[in-house]
Structure 1
Amino acid sequence: MVEKKIPNATARRLPIYYRYLRFLYDSGKVRVSSTELSEAIKVDSATIRRDFSYFGALGKRGYGYDVEDLMNFFSKTLKQDQLTNVALIGVGNLGRALLNYNFHQSNNMRISAAFDINEEIVGTILSGVPIYHMDDMIEQLKIQQIEVVIITIPSTVAQATADRLVEANVRGILNFTPFRISVPDTVRVQNVDLTNELQTLIYFLDHYESTKE
């Protein structure tokens, strides 16, 4: 893999490319053009070619892209060729839904540990995932060498929890709370605000003729 920084917008499209390439490979497709990819994933072909160019020569003029080779390349780029263990912080309604979602079925990611303060579920196993008390979070994250976590906790404790995650050497946080946590530059935060996304969708429906982003 080429070790250089790529634009954030490109990085966000990589999983889309990988997922569709897996679909093509499973359906027996051998090669694909940027135009075909464009029509399928609704990203213009010039953007696709530019995105791919950040990683060097991935295709051949007049031939297009070898589906299996490109799929394997993005698999390695996204670390899908190795298992990534993830922790869940907060096992409420949303947390339980995420536990029930089988990340590992089509991706090499799995929630391997969850943390909560609810004594009724601490010490139990839900959807195959052991539930630990929040008091044991730092110790367990270090022991299990987990560097990626999902937080689905009340906003009032989001920052304090983030501070503890930094202490546990976590490198990535998927934040489902509306609170924007502050972390050092060594930690990457992805914010997922479902309410905000829905409100944005409703706004676009009322103010734009096209419903495509």
Structure 2
Amino acid sequence: MKPDIPRIPQATTKRLPLYYRFLQSFDNAGHKRVSSQELSEAMKIDSATIRRDFSHFGALGKKGYGYEVPTLLEFFRKTLDQDEAANVALIGVGSLGTAFLKYNFQKNHNTKIVVAFDTKAPVEGTTISDIPVYHSSVMLEKLEEYGIELVIFTLPSRSAQQVADQLGTSSIKGILNFTPIRIQTTDAIRVHTIDLSVELQTLIYLIRNEHTE
């Protein structure tokens, strides 16, 4: 049964998968207990931030003792729905999209790309990295057929809003958007945008200003 989760800050939410990943590493290494300081050193996140993040979920550890790795791992596994697989569709099979199909989320993830769409693909479908790729004209039909709730946008920016509008009539609940535009959708669809150019500019700024006041 999934734990009852209170409303938590978005920044904390984004760190939850990282906690789960590093806890898996500690568990695989045979660690039964871990402190916030040890997590801090491994993850390069301030230990106070880790303790504050964990405090949103109640008493996960003991002061002066730390956290039981198996217990914490089980908690985050349930919190992140790791037991419930999520089938994902990819829209736009260019260079970035093809890379996603080849990677397709390795083990220890509960998500998998099971179908993709592109305007250059045949209506009857083709296969890339063992994943069926169909023409965009049959997208809504195939999304329903595959039971998709989450899609990844790696299509040209000029087409992103139009495709998002089409998805407004579907059962899609989330879009992971790799285009630089801000997509408008219905309230039923949550959009998470990852603008690679912005991320790169942010990294450059941080590198160049790391030692300035």
> Hey, what does 2:64 align to over in structure 1?
62
Q: Deviations over 1:162-201 (max 9, x none)?
A: 1112211211111011111011232211111111111222
> Hey, what does 1:76 align to over in structure 2?
78
Note if contact 1:139-1:168 (Cα within 8 Å) is conserved in structure 2. Answer: no
Q: TM-score, normalised by structure 1?
A: 0.92
| Aligned-partner SS, 2:113 | strand
Q: How far, CA to CA, are the matches of 2:45 and 2:121 in structure 1?
A: 47
> Hey, what does 1:7 align to over in structure 2?
9
Q: How far, CA to CA, are the matches of 2:95 and 2:108 in structure 1?
A: 23
Aligned positions of 1:1-213 closer than 5 A: 1-119=3-121, 123-209=125-211
Percent identity, please.
54
| Aligned-partner SS, 1:167 | coil
Following superposition, which runs of at least 4 residues in structure 1 exceed 6 angstroms of deviation? none
Distance 1:59 1:39, change over 3 A: same
Distance 1:119 1:142, change over 3 A: closer
Q: How many pairs align? A: 210
Task: Give the CA deviation at 1:121.
Answer: 9.0
| Aligned-partner SS, 2:88 | strand
Amino acid at match of 2:140: I
Larger mean CA deviation between 200-209 and 156-165 belongs to: 200-209
Structure 2 runs not aligned, ≥5 long:
none
Distance 1:140 1:119, change over 3 A: closer
Structure 1 runs not aligned, ≥5 long:
none
Q: TM-score, normalised by structure 2?
A: 0.92
